[in-house]
């Protein structure tokens, strides 16, 4: 009988086909965009549609965004769903500030985007006066499909980001120095 000798080699046929070459940004963005954990900032009726989007018929889990976190420390995207009153405005801002970077904001519905029908002394005329909004969703309230479309737009936006250069400039500088 012959004895098989296994030798460690540089080339391992077992992993062939499981290795992908890609840009670091592309891999990072792909990971990020498919596991967006939302902060459900439900302030009015838009929150009902947000809940519907999370439930089985619309199933936001198909886009990796089903993990609604009620702690801002664990969130990636704040979905501002509803009317932001001045009384609530600074609380929303504070919660946004507690979210770790990188973070994104979706303004869901007319009220969160512009104040909507509330042209009033009591209502902030769009959350973009306080937070940097990435995606605006029209509708009063928007259908769950519209929220999903907005989420997909945000995913597109994330996949185009220059993550490493924008968020870790120290690291890229060091790399460039080493290469030079």
Partner 1 sequence: MTGHEALDSLDKSFKGKIQSKTEFRAETTYAIAASDLREIAKFCRDELSFNYLIDITSIDNFGEEPRFEIVYELYSMPLGVHLRLSLKVPEESGAVDTVSEIWPTANWHEREIYDMMGIKFNGHTDLRRILMWEGYPYFPLRKDFPLEGLPSEMPDVAFTKVTPLEGGPFVTVPSTATSKEREPRGRPPQL
Please report, as residue ranges, which positions from 52 to 111 form the binding site for partner 1 (by CB under 8 A). 86-87, 89-90
In the numeric block, which tokens belong to residue 90? Answer: 């600074």
User: What does the alpha-carbon distance between residue 33 and residue 125 come to, in Å, rounded to a whole number?
Assistant: 29
Residue 140 interacts with partner 1 (CB under 8 A)? no
From the list 5, 121, 176, 180, which residue makes contact with partner 1 (rule: CB under 8 A)? 121
31 to each of 44, 97, 108, 157, how far by Cα in Å?
31, 23, 24, 13
Please report, as residue ranges, which positions from 100 to 119 form the binding site for partner 1 (by CB under 8 A). 115, 117, 119
Strands 77-81 and 38-42: parallel
The nearest distance, CB 121 to partner 1, in angstroms, is 3
Residue 150 interacts with partner 1 (CB under 8 A)? no
CA proximity to 138, closest of 127, 128, 150, 130: 150
Residue 141 interacts with partner 1 (CB under 8 A)? no
Q: Which is nearer to partner 1, 97 or 156 (CB)?
A: 97
SS3 135: strand
From the list 122, 170, 178, 179, which residue makes contact with partner 1 (rule: CB under 8 A)? 122
């Amino acid at each position: 009988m012959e004895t098989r000798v296994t030798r460690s080699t540089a080339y391992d046929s077992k992993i062939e086909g499981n290795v992908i070459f890609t840009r670091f940004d592309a891999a990072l963005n792909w990971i990020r965009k498919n596991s967006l954990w939302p902060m459900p900032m439900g302030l009015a009726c838009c929150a009902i549609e947000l809940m519907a989007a999370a439930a089985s018929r619309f199933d936001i889990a198909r886009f990796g965004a089903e993990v609604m976190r009620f702690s801002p420390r664990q969130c990636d995207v704040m979905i501002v769903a509803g009317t932001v009153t001045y009384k609530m405005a600074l609380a929303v801002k504070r919660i946004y500030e507690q979210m770790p970077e990188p973070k994104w904001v979706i303004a869901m519905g007319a009220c969160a985007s512009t104040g909507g029908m509330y042209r009033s002394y009591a209502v902030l005329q769009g959350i973009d006066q306080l937070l940097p909004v990435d995606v605006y969703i029209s509708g009063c309230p928007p259908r769950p499909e519209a929220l999903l479309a907005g989420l997909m737009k945000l995913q597109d936006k994330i996949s185009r980001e220059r993550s490493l250069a924008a968020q870790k400039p120290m690291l890229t500088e060091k790399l460039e120095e080493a290469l030079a």
